[in-house]
Amino acid sequence: MAAVIISALLTAASMPGMLWGGLIWFALVPLFFELNRSSLLSGIIKAFAFAYVYLLLSHFWVFPVLSRNVPDVLETFPPFVATVTFFLMGLIMAAPFAGFGIAYMLLKDHLWKNRLFSSLVVASLFVVFESIRGYGPLGFTGGRLSHALINDLGLLQLLPLGGTLLLVFLIVSVNYILYTIMPKAFLKKAALVMIVLGCVFSISSLLERFVPRIAVGDGESGEVVAVQTNFPQSIKYNEPASVVLAVVEDALRSVPEGSWVVMPEATFMSDIRNNYVGSRLQEIVSERDLSVLIGFPTYNDKNYNQVRIIDSNGFGEEFYAKMKPTPFVEILPYPRIFGLFGFLRFLDFFSPGEEYTVFDFAFTNLAVQICFDSYYPEVSRGLVKAGGQVLVTSTNDGWFDHNTALQQHFAQMIFRSVENRRFGIQVSNTGISGVIDPYGRTLKTFPTVFETDEVFLLDTLNFVPRDDQTLYNSYGEWIFTASLMIIGLYLFVVMISPQIKKARKS
């Protein structure tokens, strides 16, 4: 089991905001050593344990949110409940990897001696169960192996071809090839191991040299003013809306007249369309000729965590509602099973959004997603297919005490931008706010709440509208289908090989 823990530690340490992403290229090797000397049941347990440990370590920042921040602000449950909830979260995230353990243990003795084909089969198995981890109301893609490559600009250019699952496929393939090399006379094979790793890093570096740059600030560019509000969650949830309004007023009076302004998710924690706050905002935007994209919940036939535009004409009718409400926090999945966890909700339970709304904003088609929507590639794909020329994430990350959480969330905007070849803008309460080009370069970021005492920050973010259609945007997770085909081909060959040998002998 020690090798399993080593793999889990190396994988967790490779995630954004942790140690070094390069660890991911050999992080799984100890796991494969352990699985290949295990029994069926032991191997299943070890595959699950690997995922359980690395996913909890990667998301360590969730624990203080549950154990301290939410209880202090909302007083909905005692801190000790956070421990049970945190480890239950790990069980849910890691469960699909038990399926990987089952499949791998059943097939490992039949893997061909051909390293390349064996690596493709193992990578396909991993991709299939990694895909399953993101499905359904409990699905979550945080901690995906591909996230370790956030700083590898060259390899990120594979994203428009096959998304993050293509990078997962590549990572697992390299790890399995290294595993097949290392068991036999390691010292003699060390040079080959270094050659494999050297090729990976060299290819990434070579690809990076050819990544183009896009000039911003010329006639084809657009711009928005992003406002990052830095007040703590206790003010948003427990103080009168007038306290938040005072900060928002100051911010809106600080932007140039006639600006297009983007504000964070849940800038206000109540429906402001028909009260004093909404009326006051309309007065300000009218006085200064502003158009403001702002987030707040709405309660009609359905509850939505949404964003919409307010301008001199008042609140617009169009809105984008969060497609992927956070389980237990914003939506209660499978109420008959998890009904007793209803106390975990932060504000209220919301309905998932139903339309990929694209706003006519800042002389472009602005596609806005909310908070952890950016973790799900299908949301950005849907927005781009609906006509989005620029991707925006409006988010409230004020619950997080650790910069690692902010870096991991901002990384998702980078992946979504490159997958769809769109400029990406993130506007966050407390940070990270900034703009990314379609090739994954971060062009500008704001200081986070940990780096400034200002109650709000604002800056102009430039972008160039794009209409590119990438392979990934058109065909989505084709790598999942390809993986199933590779597995199917492998199973077919395994089944007919004994018959062929028998026929030859006869």
C-alpha distance from residue 109 to each of 41, 101, 104, 222, 493 (Å): 15, 13, 9, 57, 14
In a domain, 303, yes or no: yes
The total of structural domains in the chain comes to: 2
Query: Could you read off the pLDDT of 467-494 as tens digits, one per residue?
Result: 999 999 999 999 999 999 999 988 887 7
Identify whether residues 448 and 485 lie together within a single domain: no
State yes or no: is 265 an active-site residue: yes
**SS3 letters for 306-332?**
EEEEEECCEECCCCEECCCCCECCCEC
According to DSSP, the β-strands at 320-321 and 314-315 are unpaired
Please give the mean pLDDT across all residues of the chain. 90
Identify whether residues 401 and 432 lie together within a single domain: yes
Identify whether residues 401 and 485 lie together within a single domain: no
Identify whether residues 110 and 244 lie together within a single domain: no
- Catalytically annotated residue among 34, 130, 265, 330: 265
In a domain, 471, yes or no: no
State yes or no: is 355 an active-site residue: no
State yes or no: is 322 an active-site residue: yes
Identify whether residues 160 and 285 lie together within a single domain: no
Give pTM, 2 decimals: 0.93
Whether the per-residue pLDDT at 188 is higher than 70: the answer is no
Identify whether residues 497 and 404 lie together within a single domain: no
C-alpha distance from residue 492 to each of 129, 134, 484 (Å): 20, 28, 12
- Catalytically annotated residue among 236, 330, 371, 477: 371
CATH classification at residue 425:
3.60.110.10
Whether the per-residue pLDDT at 261 is higher than 80: the answer is yes
Identify whether residues 127 and 263 lie together within a single domain: no
Whether the per-residue pLDDT at 187 is higher than 50: the answer is no
Identify whether residues 414 and 486 lie together within a single domain: no
Q: Domain range for residue 121?
A: 2-211+476-505
Identify whether residues 418 and 280 lie together within a single domain: yes
Query: Could you read off the pLDDT of 194-222 as tens digits, one per residue?
Result: 667 777 777 777 778 888 888 776 667 89
Give pLDDT, residue 113.
Answer: 67
User: What is the Cα–Cα distance from 430 to 468, expressed in whole angstroms?
Assistant: 32
Whether the per-residue pLDDT at 68 is higher than 90: the answer is no
- Catalytically annotated residue among 46, 108, 236, 322: 322
| Contact between residue 192 and residue 180 where contact means Cβ atoms under 8 Å apart | no
| Contact between residue 228 and residue 398 where contact means Cβ atoms under 8 Å apart | no
Q: Which two tokens stand for residue 3?
A: 């090798």
Identify whether residues 490 and 461 lie together within a single domain: no
Tell me which of 327 and 50 has the higher pLDDT.
50
